[in-house]
Amino acid sequence: MEQKNLKTMIKEAKRIVFFGGAGVSTGSGIPDFRGSGGLYTEANETEESPEEILSGEYLRKYPEKFYRYYKKNMLYPNAKPNGAHRALAKLEQMGKLTSVITQNIDGLHEAAGSRNVIAVHGSVLSNYCTSCYKEYPLSYILEAESVPLCEHCGNPVRPDVVLYGEGLDGLAFTRAQREIERADLLIVGGTSLTVYPAAGLLHSFRGKNLVIINRTPTPYDPYAALIIRDPIEDVLSEATKEM
């Protein structure tokens, strides 16, 4: 019944926006932070917390240690899009979905074919020199033996992602707000909706139906027209089947 209701909502909607988190990519083999095998449950070789290591201040002070941890725990270059990513790309191609707003930094929505992706926390695919701002691909980070240095000016290269202690990209956040304001169906998936300010984007929704697809309860469940607890890759694949 839940799948039937979701399929009906998708068919009737004119402007769908998807807002997702780490749970969207677990089906691609990328663990979320707090799930089984995530950064908060795995043993750490140092006494420092993930929040401390993955912070802008730590990157500036201890770039070698930052990159050793970052490359081991945050980069999954062999990960492939799963059914959720592909279903969302399909909905966009059909003219149903206007944008994907993601808290993930893995670039899998783009790999699946989605074009209008707003990555509010940035992307590991994009990197830049901290001095001259020359841009570098993910391969440049992966191939560096230690701290990647700019081939133009010799200064450190950093990932274009929002690290702990850093603010979100104001332009991306504003774009996300506008997309959600204009949506008549907002599908939220794979996120606990407890990480702010990103979770606060839901306050911008004024549309007809809010759908939440998440394994565990969220603070926004009372406002949802439909709640589904099944794996998001299965839910979206089934909902867009034969469309």
| Residues with catalytic roles | 121
105 neighbors 200 (Cβ within 8 angstroms): no
**227 Cβ contact list (under 8 Å, min separation 6):** 211, 212, 213, 214, 221
The neighbour count for residue 128, using CB atoms within 10 Å, is: 15
Closest CA to 53 of 37, 36, 72: 72
179 in helix, strand or coil? helix
Distances from the Cα of 219 to the Cα of 135, 191, 224, 226, angstroms: 38, 11, 10, 14
Q: Element (H or E) spanning 173, and its range?
A: helix 170-182
Encoded tokens for 14 = 């004119």
